[in-house]
Structure 1
Amino acid sequence: MGGRLPLFRDLLPRGLLGRSVLIILVPILLLQAVALQLFYGGHLDVISRRLAGGVAGDVAMLVELLQRETIEDRSWIFREASWRLDLALAFEAGARLNAVERRASMPLLPLEEDLNRALEERLRLPFDTDWQSDPRSVIIRVQTPDGVLHVEAPRKRLFTATLYLFVIWLVGSALLLSAVAVVFMKNQVRAIRRLAGAAEAFGLGRDIGTIKPEGAAEVRQAAQAFNRMQDRIRRFVGQRTDMLAGISHDLRTPLTRMRLALAMLPRSADTEEDLSALTADVEEMERMIAAYLAFARGEGTEQAAPADLVELVQEVAAKARRSGATVEVVAPSGLMLPLRADALRRCLGNLLDNARRHGRLIMVAVDTVSRGEPGDEAAPAWAQITVDDDGPGIPAAGREAAFRPFASGAPGGTGLGLAIARDIVRAHGGEIALEQSPLGGLRARLRLPV
């Protein structure tokens, strides 16, 4: 049982539209199958046996009459059979009935079987039925003692048009219900897809505005709730950013006065070291305030636009080299992606700054990898950036904790570099992970959707 359920789940449609239509159509098809079985196995079977019995009885009566009359006196029987019974007769004197292979021309209907059974019961003579020669009639050949009687019976005497009407009703109603179900469910699924797309875009930091509620009442309710959630999140982020911007401004004012005062103090050999340390502390405080403000803002005001990822990486690497880092870049000639370029520069700058503080050599590689199974070229791709250093690295148990805000293990760090980097990468719909580097230190692996 456990092995069969996953297989059954694999056969089900994955989309809501397919599953909804399936839920609607399966009971209808089962009901129609039961109705068809009742009709086919009950009503049609009875009607077919009765019609076949009537034709077989007429043929048996004609055979009996012909055997009682001489060949010269049989003309009236032929005439009456054509007029009253709608049966065309022909007699082949002295002929013998050759055995022929019986092929079913209507395999889904019991007509041929019922006719053969009825003829066997009533004739008690060798016979043969031909359903192939004439599409409008069935030819019955009966072996009599003095020859072969050919009886041409119209198929309408053996067949009822009710079956056609019933099958047309079954197929037509199923197709009509399928079309109605698909049209209505597509409208509902379109609203859900639109809501899912809006949620995804909002999660990636794009300003999509409010979405128009449409579809069923529950879907409209979800869309309205999503619009209210967007509004609350925007107000919250705006209030937090404004508050921290105000705090930053208030703190920078006294820090600026302190720097100015430190710059104006008379310097001597005894005070130079202390003044330099105080100036460095003030500069560090300014950097920390700027980092806190950037983390709180989340780089959320920038909109994604097509940009060359390789060019952006080269720019960040060049800036790191000017700061004294040894950086080598391995990348293709170009890779265009929808990026929030300033935010991604900050992300890569934080990663290179961390690598520069912990190691001497930094390797940056850019390439693309598939999101599906290996060898699945149809699967969408990731743009992958790896930043390797030859520093001491981070133990596997502590790598996830390194992404937490204010988790700093290096002197002079704010503990926000990796947290900001993760926020920026996730805002692009990507992911970031820390691994063991081939250089012996730490590898930061970024993946962005192409």
Structure 2
Amino acid sequence: MRVARLTERVIRRLLPRSFQGRSLLIVLMPLLITQIVALQLFYGNYLNVVSRRLADGVVSDLSFIVDSVEHMPAQRDWLVTQARWRTQLEIDFHPGETLTTKNAPFVLGPMDEDLTNAVRRVFDAPCYIDWKATKQGVRLEIPLRDGVLDVIVPRKRLDVGPIWLFVAWEVGSAILLFIVAGLFVGKQVRAVRRLAKAAENFGLGRDDGPIRPQGALEVRKAALAFNRMQARVNRFVAQRTAVLAGVSHDLRTPLTRLRLTLAMMPVEGSVEAQELRPDIDDMVADIAEMERLIGSYLSFARGEGEEEPVPTDLATLIRDVAADTVRAGGEVLAIHAEQNLVVPVRPDAIRRVLINLAENARRHGGRMSFSLRQAGRMIEITLDDDGPGIAQSRRKDVFRAFNSTSGPEGGSGLGLTIARDIMAAHGGSVVLRNSPLGGLRVVLKLPR
């Protein structure tokens, strides 16, 4: 079981991970197996049979000629002349000579071995074969009782044709079919990649509009389904935004009337009116707090869906937020920002996240520092403060809506929730850690 798992793990690592690579592998493997089987059937079976038959035919002619010469030595010259003319073999007899002992060059293929075996089987003697004796012939020396028979055999009587031609045809056809399959699979994969890119951009809030269905029927159906889903989501967001705009108007209208009523109340003259002044100021402060809470709730429900992403210089955005924080009474110790980090984001939404976090740091500590850097394919914005921080056990709870963690200072309990939702809409995340300043470190991660 362990060996099987290890083998499966090794195979998974060797296999391509992309859809295009695996599709091409599915096409290539049967193609290679088919070509190998065809080559083996031809080269290992058919070619062997043909080569053996050709060698047997040449050796049979030589055996007949040798037997004729030995039985009719007086007519040797006539027999050799007739044999040359009728068998296309150049035959010479060298009386008193011995067989060449040097090694002959070996030819790739079964022809050399088949011819040697046929000579040994018929003449019961070793032979010498030189496949490079002439351009169009093969030299064959056969020892006889009183000399050596020297024969030049035409290659066409032994060779069925160049094997490289068949191999080139096999390899060429395989490459051609693989290129055609690669072009076809690449076109299908481009449609899938286009659909994946559109889904990724839509998830990051970058609405590029409907995509044009392309590729196979299933991919076209998936593209149409994505377009319908995108239209439904956009319609839902537009309807919800319109409803929330009306709710915002309805809620803020009575608060505005209350603020005007309190502003018009007489607070000068009588002693009773002077005594009401602190209560009126408290009521005005409560109305301002209610307006702030309503704005926070509506921002949380709206989710910044109406803002379009644009390329934004994050370093400039952080410096603007830091300047606003200093004007509000906070102390910014340092800003460490890498330059030329321009990312397509919703600038107002990211600004709201940074202002919210900076305001929390100002209320709970007072001193803070900003940093901006690129970490691989992500952009990290870090804010450190010297406040009391958040315990490790409570860091998951602070992201839940209406779970206030602001302590005696008050708060709606939506700051980190809104920050998390805005970062998630950008395809990023929010991470809480311990700060070197002694308080809380908030790390915002955005995709590049």
1:43-442 aligned within 5 A: 43-68=46-71, 73-106=75-108, 109-161=109-161, 167=167, 170-267=170-267, 269-327=274-332, 328-370=334-376, 381-410=377-406, 411-442=409-440
Amino acid at match of 2:317: L
Cα deviation for residue 154 of structure 1 reads 2.2
Contact 1:428-1:448 within 8 A present in 2 as well: yes
Cα deviation for residue 303 of structure 1 reads 2.8
The alpha-carbon distance between structure 1 residues 246 and 149, as it changes in their structure 2 partners (threshold 3 A), is same
Aligned partners of 1:220 and 1:332: how far apart in 2? 43
Matched, 1:40 2:43: yes
Contact 1:311-1:334 within 8 A present in 2 as well: no
Contact 1:241-1:293 within 8 A present in 2 as well: no
Q: Which residue of 2 aligns with 1:20?
A: 23
Cα deviation for residue 81 of structure 1 reads 3.0
The alpha-carbon distance between structure 1 residues 139 and 162, as it changes in their structure 2 partners (threshold 3 A), is closer
Matched residue of 1:386: which SS? strand
The alpha-carbon distance between structure 1 residues 119 and 330, as it changes in their structure 2 partners (threshold 3 A), is same
Deviations 1:285-331 (A, max 9, x none): 11122222222332233333333221111111111111111112122
Q: How many residues align?
A: 437
The alpha-carbon distance between structure 1 residues 69 and 281, as it changes in their structure 2 partners (threshold 3 A), is farther
Cα deviation for residue 282 of structure 1 reads 1.1
The alpha-carbon distance between structure 1 residues 79 and 392, as it changes in their structure 2 partners (threshold 3 A), is farther
Aligned partners of 2:402 and 2:380: how far apart in 1? 26
Point out the more displaced range, 197-206 or 393-402: 393-402
Amino acid at match of 1:427: A
Cα deviation for residue 135 of structure 1 reads 4.8
Contact 1:403-1:418 within 8 A present in 2 as well: yes
Contact 1:405-1:415 within 8 A present in 2 as well: yes
Matched residue of 1:207: which SS? coil
Deviations 1:170-229 (A, max 9, x none): 445433432332222222211111111111111111221111112222111111110110
Cα deviation for residue 121 of structure 1 reads 0.9
Aligned partners of 2:26 and 2:339: how far apart in 1? 51
Aligned partners of 2:394 and 2:386: how far apart in 1? 18
The alpha-carbon distance between structure 1 residues 86 and 363, as it changes in their structure 2 partners (threshold 3 A), is same
Contact 2:431-2:442 within 8 A present in 1 as well: yes
The alpha-carbon distance between structure 1 residues 13 and 259, as it changes in their structure 2 partners (threshold 3 A), is same
The alpha-carbon distance between structure 1 residues 240 and 82, as it changes in their structure 2 partners (threshold 3 A), is same
Cα deviation for residue 386 of structure 1 reads 1.1
Matched residue of 1:301: which SS? coil
Contact 1:284-1:412 within 8 A present in 2 as well: no
Aligned partners of 1:254 and 1:369: how far apart in 2? 49
Point out the more displaced range, 10-19 or 233-242: 10-19
Matched residue of 1:142: which SS? strand
Deviations 1:360-397 (A, max 9, x none): 32121112222xxxxxxxxxx32221111122222233
Of all paired residues, the percent bearing the same amino acid is: 50
Contact 1:127-1:141 within 8 A present in 2 as well: yes
Unaligned 5+ runs, structure 2: 268-272
Aligned partners of 1:133 and 1:313: how far apart in 2? 86
Amino acid at match of 2:421: D
Cα deviation for residue 238 of structure 1 reads 0.8
Contact 1:86-1:153 within 8 A present in 2 as well: yes
Q: Which residue of 1 aligns with 2:6?
A: 3
The alpha-carbon distance between structure 1 residues 418 and 78, as it changes in their structure 2 partners (threshold 3 A), is farther
Matched residue of 1:271: which SS? helix
Amino acid at match of 1:49: R
Cα deviation for residue 47 of structure 1 reads 1.9
Amino acid at match of 1:345: R
Amino acid at match of 2:314: L
Amino acid at match of 1:419: T
The alpha-carbon distance between structure 1 residues 152 and 5, as it changes in their structure 2 partners (threshold 3 A), is same
Contact 1:105-1:132 within 8 A present in 2 as well: no
The alpha-carbon distance between structure 1 residues 242 and 144, as it changes in their structure 2 partners (threshold 3 A), is same
Deviations 1:82-129 (A, max 9, x none): 3222222234444433323344331xx322222221121112223111
